[in-house]
Amino acid sequence: MKNVLIVAYYFPPSGGPGVQRVLKYCKYLYEFGWNPIILTVLDGDYPARDESLLKEIPEYVKVYRSKIFEPYNLYRKLTGKKSDASVDVNTIPKQGQKKKFSEQIAELIRSTFFIPDARIGWYPYAIKLGREIIKKEKIDIIYSSSPPYTCSVIARKLHKQFNIPWVAGFRDPWTGFLSTPNRWFLPKIIDCKMEKNVYKDCDALEVAWEGILKDFKNKYSDIDSSKCFHLNNGYDSQDFPDEKYQCGEKFRVTYTGSMYGKRNPETFLQAIEELIKESKVDANKIHLRFVGRFGNEVLKMFKNEILKNSIVVLPYLPHSESIKLLLQSEALLMVVDDFKGNEEIVPGKLFEYIGSKRPVITLAPEGAVTKIIRDTECGMVSNSKDIEGIKKIFLFYYTKFLNNDFNLVVNENKIKKFERREITKQLAQIFDNLTN
């Protein structure tokens, strides 16, 4: 049995989709000859917490937690936000929406001093503890999970110091991504230098969606791309209770995750509103569930005069409860904001939607997500700006509901390739190739 040191900020009790990738790797790596040892934070300022996920950490997995300096409390005070406010959903405004002066100042501080991100305060503590772990646990390989990109910077330092093979994992691109700050030229140069050093020095680059590879190749064509591997996000069939779908009294559409800024349900709600005005949909027979974390501008959309009695907004729920809601739905909502470059984005929740085998109403630009939906035959797709297209999809599934005809026939073979166990097997093979 070989030992892999996994450097990850998002780890239980952190919640959210970013946790699932590493957590499932921990669950299945042991099957393939690898013992995971975790380096994470003691008490992170997580956007969402899910204490129930602590029970999913296998007993044999050692978890080391170090201190961290988190700047977000200062950010909240500076911008006048509540002490428990989720920072991420209210820092990316909708297109055309202006930020307050205090938020502009906070953003300038963030973009200037917190490089590569606001978790850089973890670096000195993680390096110190990481050195102790490597000496104590006889680590054979290092794996880092980013974002935050600080995890990659930490792993690179340990890799260089101890000459241990290193696989840099990325769930999102680094510089220039929609959630990264708009830096002025000097911090931008530093950030790009950090990014290039990570890509150059890692022994393998493992990414969750193909767009990250394209981004890497476009930026750094001088770095050998043969060390790059695309390992999809996925779903764990063991997370889904063995219960058959039962048609509800109302047409239930469920969205889980977060919405803020450019990712919002504006056109979806507009399409349903028009169907109600056209007397094609009865507002009393629909139940729209939005589960997760939402920016203030999105919360205002939920107060739509015509739809407000049909909309239910729930806070972030434990992962197991979220899965149950998916299974107890007539349809699921997937939204990928329609902006240049976003056609490559593949949200992690897409695969749990697919695993639930409920129809997915997909609002996305033509690209990676629409291809997966069509390949697996798990739903229907429309551009998020195409109101008429959205109306047709909603009405199609709503009519099936009224007729009690809701058997979804999916492509089982295409779905199975997204099983977490199979994806972890591919990661273990990368580890084997680098250490043998």
Residue 396, domain CATH: 3.40.50.2000
Does position 267 have pLDDT exceeding 90, yes or no? Answer: yes
Pair 132, 280 in one domain = no
Q: Is residue 402 part of a domain?
A: yes
* Portion of the chain with pLDDT greater than 70, in percent: 93
**Average of per-residue pLDDT across 352-366:** 94
DSSP per residue, 73-96: HHHHHHHT--TT--SGGGTSPPTT
Same-domain status, 195 and 243: no
Q: Which pLDDT score, from 0 to 100, does residue 88 have?
A: 56
Total domain count, the chain = 2
Residues 430 and 354 placed together within one structural domain of the fold: no
Task: Name the residue with higher pLDDT: 431 or 178.
Answer: 431
Distance CA 322, CA 301 (A): 22
Structural domain boundaries, residue 309: 237-414
Q: How far apart are CA 27 and CA 419, in angstroms?
A: 13
Query: 284 pLDDT exceeds 70?
Result: yes
Does residue 11 fall inside a structural domain? yes
The answer as to whether 91 is a domain residue is no
C-alpha count within 13 angstroms, C-beta hemisphere, residue 355: 23
**pLDDT higher at 81 or 3:** 3
Residue 100 lies inside a defined structural domain of this protein: no
Q: Which residue has the higher pLDDT, 178 or 36?
A: 36
Identify whether 95 is part of a domain: no
pLDDT confidence of residue 78: 65
Per-residue confidence (pLDDT) for residue 180, from 0 to 100: 80
- Domain assignment present for residue 198? The answer is yes
Query: Tell me: the pLDDT tens digits for 52-89?
Result: 999 999 999 999 999 999 887 776 666 666 656 665 54
Q: Are residues 212 and 127 in the same domain?
A: yes
Same domain, 184 and 331: no
Q: Does 46 or 105 have the greater pLDDT score?
A: 46
- Dihedral sign, CA of 324, 421, 21, 132? positive
**Residue indicated by tokens 């559409």:** 253
Q: What is the pLDDT of residues 141-171, one digit of tens each?
A: 999 999 999 999 999 999 999 999 999 999 9
pLDDT at site 190:
96
Residue 196 lies in a domain: yes
Interval 286-296: pLDDT, tens: 999 999 989 88
Residues 17, 43 share a domain: yes
What is the full DSSP assignment across 349-415? HHHHHHHHT--EEEE--SSHHHHHHHHHT-EEEE-TT-HHHHHHHHHHHHHHHHTT-------HHHH
pLDDT of residue 250 exceeding 70, the answer is yes
- Name 34's bridge partners: 2
Q: Are residues 281 and 393 in the same domain?
A: yes
Do both 267 and 343 map to the same domain? yes
Same domain? For 188 and 328 the reply is no
* Better-predicted residue by pLDDT, 342 or 280: 280
pLDDT band per the 50, 70, 90 thresholds, residue 283 = very high
Asked if residue 332 and residue 313 are part of one domain, the reply reads yes
Do 230 and 242 have their domain in common? no
Residue 98 lies in a domain: no
Q: DSSP secondary-structure letter at 305?
A: T
Instruction: Look at residue 71 in the predicted model and tell me its pLDDT.
Output: 80
- Same domain? 10 vs 34: yes
